[in-house]
Amino acid sequence: MVNCAVFGCYNHSKKKPGDENASDVGFFSIPKVIVNQCKRTKDVTQRRRAEWLRRINRKDLDGSATHYRVCGKHFISGRPSYAMAEADPDWAPSLHLGYGNPRDSGSSASRHTRHLKRLQKKHKPFQPLQACSDDDSIPPTPLDCGDNSEEPVMAIQEECSISGRTDFGQTTELTMLQIKLLEEENNRLISELVDTKGQLRTRILSEECLKEKPDMLQFYTGMPNFNLLWALFLVLERGISHTSLNCLTKFQEMLVFLICLRLNVPLQDLAYR
């Protein structure tokens, strides 16, 4: 049976199926200090463990023990928050701690919500300015300069004279010549990549390479043509043991075996191939 470590809290887990006094809330261990990660994680978890023990405020607790539990009744959301979220009100237990005035869970949650909104506003990208509307429902208001002048403010009218038009133009520091050079460089790199892949396919012992080079096929395997080699592979395929740990395909494994039989190539040389 697990008991809550907070003073005056009698919540406990079910001792047996018929225990009616048991609580259905969750029980959470006092957080440990994480030492196998970065320094910031260690510092934050040290502060968190110390804060939990400070809020529990029991002199009879062993500060180095790890078996104490706190029930979900003492958290606003019913469970502790993520260890690195120090601003969260559930970073440490805060409700019904058995001493002092009861904490206002609503104010703590609202403070945390305002904090998150400030962070979102801080990292929110700038919004483009919208053009002034030509809505005639709100007439321009003249400035009151103290001389009872009724002359309208021309600056405001001129600013809003462009109605319903928004400038979507984009500026760039690249000239047309530079853009053309970049496109040519990109096309050249793509062409080189295609050529390199084609050369690589002709140098690797694969199905495509052996189909295109019969002399290489006969030298490495002793087979007169690829059709005979493929027929042999279809016969042996069912007996080849193959798992996700194999880095070679079944066909490549058969090729390695045939090369070793025909040329007596050392295993180290086959590994390099």
Q: Give me the phi and psi of 4, to 5 degrees please.
A: -75, 140
pLDDT of residue 156: 46
Last residue of a domain, one of 70, 90, 118: 118
Q: Does residue 172 belong to any structural domain of this protein? A: no
Q: Does residue 182 belong to any structural domain of this protein? A: no
Last residue of a domain, one of 87, 118, 149: 118
Q: Does residue 166 belong to any structural domain of this protein? A: no
Give the torsion through C-alpha atoms of 102, 107, 113, 114, to 10 deg. Answer: -140
Q: Does residue 176 belong to any structural domain of this protein? A: no
Structural domain that includes position 74: 27-118
Q: Does residue 262 belong to any structural domain of this protein? A: yes
Q: Does residue 77 belong to any structural domain of this protein? A: yes
Count of structural domains, the chain: 2
CA-nearest of 80, 113, 91 to 47 is: 91
Q: Which residues of 41-58 are buried (b: 16+ CB within 10 A; e: fewer)?
A: eeebbeebbeebbebbee
Q: Does residue 76 belong to any structural domain of this protein? A: yes
pLDDT by residue for the chain (273 residues), tens only, comes to 788 999 888 888 876 666 665 667 888 999 999 998 898 999 999 999 999 999 998 888 888 888 899 999 999 888 998 888 888 888 999 888 888 765 555 565 666 677 667 767 766 554 554 544 444 445 555 544 444 444 444 444 554 444 445 554 555 667 888 888 888 889 889 988 988 877 776 667 777 788 888 888 888 888 889 899 899 989 888 888 888 788 888 888 888 888 888 888 887 777 766
Last residue of a domain, one of 118, 139, 165: 118
In the numeric block, the tokens 């005035």 are attached to 101
Q: Does residue 234 belong to any structural domain of this protein? A: yes
